[in-house]
């Protein structure tokens, strides 16, 4: 049995997307606290020195097709840390950006959004090559990574800033989003509470939030497990969870 030093255990327990865990999200764990298992080098990369081989940064030039036309999609599925990975691994996705949308404050900071007073939700912006991956495919991935029955929360994170949503940028995306919601609603008896609202300005989150799962894999995995995200997704979606 692995025996972790007390400071590490305490730090792990603080990790989360919840507003009460601002310290954990501003990266204050030291290299001594991780007991030599990972390297601390900066506020944005203190749990890892390399990114996973299948990350967006490791994609081939052929996959990214420089110069190819792109489209953009915006989704909210609770903690934005957890919504980047399922899209980053999709062939045809060029980038994912964590941020804030559907609110009333211009260029909000994390502390403002997490306090719940700006109306924003934590979201991700997905830039993709429509010749390689369709918007319908992105929608399918979205649904299977959220709890569509949860009002103003996702998993262990509570508050309107964690509500789920699809934010179409044009009539074509709106029609596809509506169709996908109808398909999901037909599958379940519980009402679907995920909002579909026309896209409003999307503001990129602070740099330490971007690619969090690659920069801080230990904390990310612990948070995801502690939050019960995978267990709940499997309960809802079965073998299709997270796909």
- Residue positions annotated with a catalytic role: 79
How far is residue 233's CA from residue 231's CA, in Å, rounded to a whole number? 6
DSSP string, 53-80: TTSGGG--HHHH-TT---EEEEEEESSH
Rounded Cα gap, residues 142 and 55, in angstroms:
18
Distances (CA, A) of 209 to 16, 47, 169, 183, 228: 12, 13, 24, 32, 20
How far apart, in whole angstroms, are the C-alpha atoms of residue 212 and residue 66?
25
What is d(CA 193, CA 183) in angstroms, rounded to the nearest whole number?
Answer: 14
């Amino acid at each position: 049995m692995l025996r972790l030093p007390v400071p590490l255990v305490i730090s792990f327990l603080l990790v989360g997307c919840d507003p009460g865990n601002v310290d954990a999200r501003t990266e204050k764990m030291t290299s001594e606290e991780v007991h030599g298992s990972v390297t601390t080098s900066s506020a944005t990369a203190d749990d890892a020195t390399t990114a996973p081989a299948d990350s967006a940064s490791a994609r081939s030039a052929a996959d990214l097709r420089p110069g190819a036309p792109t489209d953009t999609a915006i989704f909210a599925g609770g903690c934005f840390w957890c919504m980047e990975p399922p899209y980053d691994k999709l062939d045809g996705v060029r980038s994912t950006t964590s941020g804030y949308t559907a609110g009333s404050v211009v260029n909000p900071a994390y502390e403002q959004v997490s306090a719940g007073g700006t109306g924003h939700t934590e979201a991700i912006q997905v830039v993709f090559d429509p010749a390689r991956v369709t918007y319908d495919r992105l929608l399918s991935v979205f649904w299977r990574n959220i709890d569509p029955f949860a009002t103003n929360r996702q998993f262990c994170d509570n508050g309107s800033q964690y509500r789920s949503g699809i934010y179409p940028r044009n009539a074509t995306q709106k029609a596809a989003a509506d169709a996908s919601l109808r398909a999901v609603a037909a599958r379940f008896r519980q009402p679907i509470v995920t909002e579909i609202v026309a896209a409003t300005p999307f503001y990129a989150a602070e740099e330490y939030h971007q690619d969090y799962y690659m920069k801080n894999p230990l904390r990310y995995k612990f948070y995801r497990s502690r939050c019960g995200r995978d267990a709940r997704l499997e309960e809802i979606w079965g073998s299709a969870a997270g796909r």
